[in-house]
Amino acid sequence: MASELPFAWSIMVIWVNLIFLGWCWLYVQNKITITQNCRAAWFVLFIFCLWLLYIAFQLMPLPVSLLERLSPRSLEHWSSVQHLRGEGELLKASISVDPKITKVGLLLSSSYALIFFLALSLVSNRQRLKTLAYTLVYSGLFQAVYGAVMTLSSWEYGFFIQKTKYIGVATGTFFNRNHLAGYLEMTLAIGIGLLVSTLDTDTATSIKKKVIKLLRLLLSPKARLRLVLVMMVIALVLTHSRMGNTAFFLSLFIAGVIGLICSKRATRSMVVLFVSLIVIDMLIVGQWFGFEKVKQRLEQTSEMSENRDEVFQYGLQQWQDYRLTGSGLGSFYTVFPQYRGVDVTGFNREAHNDYLQFATETGVIGLVLLALITLVSLFTAIIAHYRRRDPLMRGMSFAAIMGIIAILIHATVEFNLQMPANAATFTVLLALAWTSLSMKHRVRIQENSG
């Protein structure tokens, strides 16, 4: 469900806050301290705080004179509401034209900020980092297997509810196939990062050594992980998500190029890994499980069959009127009907473009804050991949690079970051970027003694 329904995201919010309260209790008891990861990411934590303060500011009742300067359209909205109610002169009003949904946005945003903080605070050693990575990968595997079984068996059930949409394509427990694709993009990136962390730098020369290496590979966890990734790619293809598949392979290619450039010595095993991921997954797995259907959907896409272009154009007009401060986080569907033309039908709850939606809801100010959080973390992951020689840290930095780029590409036509489950996972990827840079390397003797 992507935690889209109120009861689902409420569970997430409550659980995250309980964990944070537990952390605070341990901190007061001097049983834990602020980790190096948190200290390294102080700038992003600060921007997260500014973001929360800004959303809270959108909810504050402001004097009419100030609101007129910041958001004339918001003032116009509240003036019309006041007139319809037949009440007296408007004295104060908020930037948000839909305070109830903006309060929900503030609640979810605070949870994402806490997830970022807790990921930096609790993932304080290599074993916890591996546990987190494998947990996310196996979560992606569950979604992949569930979605593939439902599709291939024609049972067509979502989260214990029979599907009424997206029949014949994989959705997992998500309502929308594109959101399953977005989730798989991120978990696949983490799985590939784990593979990168296990790359062998030893170049065997003799046939005997090559045979031994091959046998070890077939019996190693690496082979099982590779099989897991293949199953996840099958599910990604079965979603028939055009941009989902495009974003995955394009982000893999871009991250692979960055990885090879950042590697002072591009090992043969790394090149073989990237080539096998692209060739095997795209040409073989894709042909068997429906990559041709994804190709057909790309070819058949036209202005007649899609109205996203029109939604984008009308959304730009909406942004022009709320350029500086936005209309309030989460308020897109409230304001958009005032701008859409007759050529756009149906209920447009989202903009099908995360950039446009955040721009219309939070304005230039909010967009800059989110860009700082994301781009600084992406740049940090690239620096970590260049500087670190620790295989695990290089693998996790690669995962962060690939996962962030995949969602940034997919966000041009979809709204994965409006879905709590995907937004929370994306936040963990941002935290992995900082963890891969700042987590201290421990030699094997110290690990064994612990």
What secondary structure does DSSP assign to 273-291, as a single string? HHHHHHHIIIIIIHHHTTH
Domain that includes residue 135, residue range: 6-60+95-440
Residue 16, token pair as written in the block: 């995250």
Per-residue model confidence as pLDDT tens for the chain (450 residues):
556 788 889 999 999 999 999 999 999 999 999 999 999 999 999 999 999 999 999 999 999 999 999 999 999 999 988 876 766 678 899 999 999 999 999 999 999 999 999 999 999 999 999 999 999 999 999 999 999 998 888 887 777 777 778 888 899 999 899 999 999 999 999 999 998 888 765 555 556 665 555 555 555 667 889 889 989 988 998 898 888 988 998 999 899 889 888 876 556 666 666 766 666 665 655 565 555 555 565 555 544 445 677 888 899 999 999 999 999 999 999 999 999 887 777 667 888 899 999 999 999 999 999 999 999 999 999 999 999 989 999 999 999 999 999 999 999 999 999 999 999 999 999 999 999 999 986 544 334 433
Q: Is 259 helix (H, G, I), strand (E, B) or coil?
A: helix
Query: Does the reported pTM lie above 0.95?
Result: no
Whether residue 86 is contained in a domain is answered as no
CA distance 96 to 99: 6
Helices (H), 346-390: 354-387
Q: Is 306 helix (H, G, I), strand (E, B) or coil?
A: coil
Rounded to 10°, the helix 354-387/420-438 angle is 20
Whether residue 52 is contained in a domain is answered as yes
State the DSSP H helix or E strand holding residue 63, giving kind and residue range, or none if neither.
strand 62-63
Number of domains composing the chain: 1
Whether residue 449 is contained in a domain is answered as no
CA distance 30 to 299: 60
Q: What are phi and psi of 401, to 5 degrees?
A: -60, -50
Whether residue 65 is contained in a domain is answered as no
Q: What share of the chain is helix, strand, coil (3-state, %, to 5)?
A: 70, 0, 25
Cβ atoms of 324 and 363 within 8 Å: the answer is yes
CA distance 95 to 69: 11
Whether residue 73 is contained in a domain is answered as no
Cα of 449 vs its chain's centroid, Å: 37
Residue 123, token pair as written in the block: 């993932």
CA distance 38 to 48: 13
Whether residue 405 is contained in a domain is answered as yes
Whether residue 178 is contained in a domain is answered as yes
Q: Which long-range contacts (CB under 8 A, 24 or more apart) does 214-220 make?
A: none
Whether residue 112 is contained in a domain is answered as yes
